[in-house]
């Protein structure tokens, strides 16, 4: 490692010797806001009435039912779910806000709501064996006679638009709301001391550093050790993740909307291919064709779009998307629209740029499609989640054996203890749960996820692939630089499964016909 070099001179160094402006004041280098009393009085008045209170959210009753299930798991405990704070992108510019997924799930809030909010499920003292009261602590709008109203670029209505009052959100969500300023006292109140029975705190750790710090203080004051706190928090996080393994009817409806918007996004991608061909960064043309639609029709994309032409398709998370799109090559597009409720699709199609697969591309594509179909064939109640991957890998290994690529027999390659050679050409998994997170339910226990039986209402992907890297000397030259993935979103039904993304063509001849129809 090289020696540390001294930092270059920066303009942030205070220049106080000669009376110049100190570095701490530089944030006000831009034009100054007025400060006079006359201005303050003037800007506080003369405004029309506030907009009417919002209608009750259709998500609210579903969120209440989910809260009741969490409540039953942790009787007597105070459960704390932060939305998270605004995150700095750079200097004084923040990222667009997206609430923590567990918070969104249990409140029904989506889009960009609500920075700094914290949902607390407070155990009812009079509840017989359980029961919680839900309270949403958030930063209500500042009234027009405050400086925040006109001067605060992060929260003031002059800067970010109309903000809700406590009463607005109570009406919208059907739960009690309080100002987050009073949260510190409320979090610490009445905690049982170490070794005593009584009220315990469980926090979704890592969602909001300020809430984590408050919880640490409260626990320290109660004499609680860090290890038991971590165990309590982890149990809550795990339960919240597992709560999402089976989607309710509202969630399934949101998934259908996300998939429909994503299918429209793929139409936009196909229509953009001629423009992509003529641009030095054709992959960006593909990416933005999708993302423009995602912003117009949804909240945005559910994850960074992969627009991978030619050999870039063999880089699994190719999100730089700055390469050209060339005639005769494939372009792998892995993209999902996140709808305003934050549910996202996750779909991949691998398209022949010129509208027709070559023989060798079709060959690889068909193997991947057959692997996907094998996984679909076991996607039904009673199968285990891991069976999806096993079924897909049996096809992949057999095909690679037929093509003389495997150094061992397919059967040996499929042996999890001693084999695995086929995974050189597909190192990722075949399936993951999908919902409010693209990799949903990730904190669920193995026995609830990988080893669990499928049940109606589960939603996951089936996404096998084959990737022959351009510098892979173990495959024939004609395969090098070909990467194919086919990814669909699947709902488990009472007696099988439904391919939610079936409207997007999958078979090679159907892909070609679809592309021709949009040409």
Contacts with Mn ion in 482-501 (CB under 5 A)? 487
Is the Cβ of residue 336 or residue 481 nearer to Mn ion in the bound state? 336
- Measured CA to CA, the distance from residue 203 to residue 193 in angstroms comes to 17
* Least distance to ligand GLY, CB of residue 441, Å: 13
Is the Cβ of residue 172 or residue 346 nearer to Mn ion in the bound state? 346
Cβ burial, residue 490 (10 Å; 0-12/13-18/19+): buried
**In Å, what is the CA distance from 445 to each residue of 72, 249, 315, 449, 452?**
19, 24, 29, 6, 9
Is the Cβ of residue 187 or residue 261 nearer to Mn ion in the bound state? 261
Interface characters, 299-338, with ligand GLY (x: CB under 6 A): ----x------------------------------x----
User: Per rule CB under 5 A, is residue 461 in the interface with Mn ion?
Assistant: yes
Residue of 168, 329, 338, 463 interacting with ligand GLY (CB under 6 A):
463
* Least distance to Mn ion, CB of residue 479, Å: 23
- Measured CA to CA, the distance from residue 486 to residue 365 in angstroms comes to 8
Contacts with Mn ion in 310-339 (CB under 5 A)? 334
* Least distance to ligand GLY, CB of residue 301, Å: 10
Cβ burial, residue 319 (10 Å; 0-12/13-18/19+): middle
Report the run of H or E that residue 132 belongs to, with start and end.
strand 132-138
- How many residues touch Mn ion (CB under 5 A)? 4
Helix (H, G, I), strand (E, B) or coil at 216: helix
| Dihedral angle over CA of 63, 65, 67, 73, nearest 10 | -150
The option from ligand GLY, Mn ion, none interacting with 401 (CB < 5 to 8 A, set by class) reads none
Instruction: Choose one: 36-44, 212-220, 459-467, 504-512; the region binding Mn ion (CB under 5 A).
Output: 459-467
The answer to whether the peptide bond before residue 306 is cis (omega within 30 degrees of 0) is no
**In Å, what is the CA distance from 299 to each residue of 84, 133, 328, 501?**
18, 30, 34, 19
- Measured CA to CA, the distance from residue 376 to residue 395 in angstroms comes to 12
* Least distance to ligand GLY, CB of residue 350, Å: 13
* Least distance to Mn ion, CB of residue 346, Å: 4
Residue among 93, 67, 463 at smallest CA distance from 248: 67
User: Per rule CB under 6 A, is residue 438 in the interface with ligand GLY?
Assistant: yes
Position closest to ligand GLY via CB: 334
Residue of 233, 346, 387, 401 interacting with ligand GLY (CB under 6 A):
346
* Least distance to ligand GLY, CB of residue 487, Å: 6
Query: Where does this chain bind ligand GLY (CB under 6 A)?
Result: 303, 334, 346, 432, 438, 463, 487
């Amino acid at each position: 490692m090289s020696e540390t070099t001294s930092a270059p001179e920066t303009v942030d160094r205070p220049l106080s010797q000669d009376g110049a402006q100190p570095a701490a004041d530089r944030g006000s280098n831009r034009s100054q806001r007025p400060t006079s009393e006359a201005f303050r009085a003037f800007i506080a008045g003369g405004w029309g009435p506030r907009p009417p209170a919002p209608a009750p959210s259709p998500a609210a009753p579903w969120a209440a039912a989910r809260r009741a299930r969490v409540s039953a798991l942790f009787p007597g405990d105070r459960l704390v779910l932060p939305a998270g704070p605004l995150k700095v992108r750079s200097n004084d510019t923040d990222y667009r806000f997206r609430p923590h997924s567990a918070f969104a799930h249990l409140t029904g809030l989506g889009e960009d709501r609500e920075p700094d909010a914290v949902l607390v499920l407070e155990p009812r003292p009079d509840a017989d064996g359980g029961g919680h009261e839900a309270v949403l602590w958030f930063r209500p709008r500042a009234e027009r006679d405050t400086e925040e109203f006109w001067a605060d670029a992060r929260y003031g209505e002059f800067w970010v638009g109309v903000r809700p009052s406590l009463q607005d959100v109570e009406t919208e969500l059907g739960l009690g709301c309080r100002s987050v300023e009073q949260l510190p006292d409320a979090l610490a109140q009445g905690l049982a001391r170490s070794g005593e029975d009584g009220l315990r705190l469980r926090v979704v750790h890592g969602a909001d550093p300020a809430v984590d710090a408050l919880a640490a203080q409260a626990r320290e004051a109660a004499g609680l050790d860090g290890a038991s706190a971590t165990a309590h928090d982890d149990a809550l996080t795990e339960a919240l993740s597992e709560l999402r393994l089976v989607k309710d009817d509202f969630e399934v409806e949101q998934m259908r909307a996300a998939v429909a918007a994503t299918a429209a996004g793929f139409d936009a991608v196909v229509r953009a291919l001629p423009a992509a061909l003529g641009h030095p960064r054709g992959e960006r043309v593909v990416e933005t064709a999708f993302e423009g639609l995602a912003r117009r029709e949804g909240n945005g994309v559910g994850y960074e779009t992969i627009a991978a032409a030619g050999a870039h398709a063999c880089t699994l998370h190719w999100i730089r998307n700055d390469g050209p799109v060339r005639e005769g090559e494939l372009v792998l597009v892995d993209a999902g629209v996140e709808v305003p409720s934050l549910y996202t699709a996750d779909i991949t199609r691998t398209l022949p740029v010129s509208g027709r697969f070559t023989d060798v591309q079709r060959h690889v594509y068909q193997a991947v499609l057959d692997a996907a179909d094998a996984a679909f064939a076991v996607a039904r109640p009673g199968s285990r989640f891991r069976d999806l991957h096993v079924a897909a890998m049996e096809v992949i290994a057999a095909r690679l054996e037929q093509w003389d690529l495997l150094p061992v027999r397919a059967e040996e390659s499929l042996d999890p203890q001693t084999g695995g050679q086929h995974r050189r050409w597909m190192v990722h998994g075949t399936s993951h749960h999908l919902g409010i997170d693209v990799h949903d339910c990730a904190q669920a226990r193995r026995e609830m996820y990988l080893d669990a039986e499928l049940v109606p209402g589960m939603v996951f992907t089936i996404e096998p692939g084959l990737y022959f890297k351009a510098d892979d000397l173990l495959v024939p030259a004609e395969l090098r630089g070909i990467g194919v993935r086919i990814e669909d979103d699947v709902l488990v039904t009472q007696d099988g499964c439904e391919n939610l993304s079936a409207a997007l063509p999958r078979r090679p001849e159907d892909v070609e016909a679809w592309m021709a129809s949009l040409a």
